[in-house]
Amino acid sequence: MMLGIKNEKEQKVSNDIASLKNAAKEALNEKKEIVPVDALIDLDPWLTPYREPLQKRYDLYKQWFDKLNNSEGSLDNFSKSYLEYGINVTDKGIHYKEWAPNAKEAHFVGDFNNWDPTSHKMNRDEFGTFDIFLPRNADGSLPIKHNTKVKIALTLEDGTVLYRIPAWIRRVTQDLSVSPTYDGIFWYPEEQYVFKNQKPSKPESVRIYEAHVGISSWEGKVNTFKNFTRDVLPRIKDLGYNVIQLMAIMEHPYYASFGYQVTSFFCASSRYGPPEDLKELIDTAHGMGIVVLLDVVHSHACNNVEDGINHFDGTDHQYFHAGGRGRHDLWNSRLFNYGNYETLRFLLSNLRYWLDEFQFDGFRFDGVTSMMYYHHGMGYGFSGNYDEYFGPNTDLEAVVYLMLANKMIHDLYPDAITIAEDVSGMPTLCRPVDEGGVGFDYRLAMAIPDMWIKILKEQKDDDWDMGDICWTLTNRRYKEKTIAYAESHDQALVGDKTLAFWLMDKEMYDFMSELCPRTPIIDRGLALHKMIRLLTHALGGEGYLNFIGNEFGHPEWLDFPREGNGNSFHYARRQFNLVDDDLLRYKFLNNFDRAMQTLESKYGWLHAPQAYISLKHEGDKVIVFERGDLLFIFNFHPTKSFTDYRVGTSWNTPHHIVLNSDRVEYGGHDCIDESVTHFPTDLPWNNRANFLQVYIPCRTCIVLSHE
Which of the residues are catalytic? 366, 421
Distance CA 171, CA 188 (A): 10
DSSP 41-68: HHH-GGGGGGHHHHHHHHHHHHHHHHHH
Give the C-alpha distances (Å, rounded to integers) separating 405 from 82, 292, 333, 437: 15, 18, 22, 12
Look at residue 665 and give its three-state secondary structure.
helix
Classify residue 526 by burial, with Cβ atoms within 10 Å: 0-12, 13-18, 19+. Answer: buried
DSSP state letter for 255:
G
Rounded to whole angstroms, the Cα distance separating 74 from 68 reads: 6
Sequence letter at residue 142 = L
Largest separation between any pair of C-alpha atoms in the chain: 93
Which residues are bridge partners to 691 per DSSP? 648, 681
CB 598 within 8 A of CB 582: no
| The dihedral formed by the CA atoms of 336, 340, 344 and 347, expressed in degrees to the nearest 10 | -20
The answer to whether residues 689 and 650 touch, using CB atoms and an 8 Å cutoff, is yes
Pairing of strands 333-334, 327-328: antiparallel
437 near 431, Cβ under 8 Å?
A: yes
Q: Please, where are the H alpha helices in 336-388?
A: 341-357, 368-372
CA gap 418, 62 in Å, rounded: 21
Whether residue 601 contacts residue 240, with contact meaning beta carbons closer than 8 Å, is answered with yes
CA distances from 566 to 130, 563, 684 (A): 44, 5, 64
Work out the number of other CB atoms within 10 angstroms of the CB of residue 477.
17
Q: Using the 8-state DSSP alphabet, how is residue 364 labeled?
A: E
47 to each of 104, 383, 422, how far by Cα in Å?
Answer: 50, 16, 19
Q: Which helix (H) or strand (E) holds 264?
A: strand 264-268
CA distance 108 to 94: 12
Distance from C-alpha of 107 to C-alpha of 118, rounded to nearest angstrom: 7
CA atoms within 13 A on the CB side of 257: 21
CA-CA distance, 99 to 133, in Å (whole number)? Answer: 15
Q: Which helix (H) or strand (E) holds 75?
A: helix 75-79
Cβ-count burial of 503 within 10 angstroms (0-12 exposed, 13-18 middle, 19+ buried)? buried
Give all strands (DSSP E) within 577-689, no chain letters.
612-617, 622-627, 630-635, 642-649, 656-660
Specify whether the CB–CB gap between 175 and 163 falls below 8 A: no
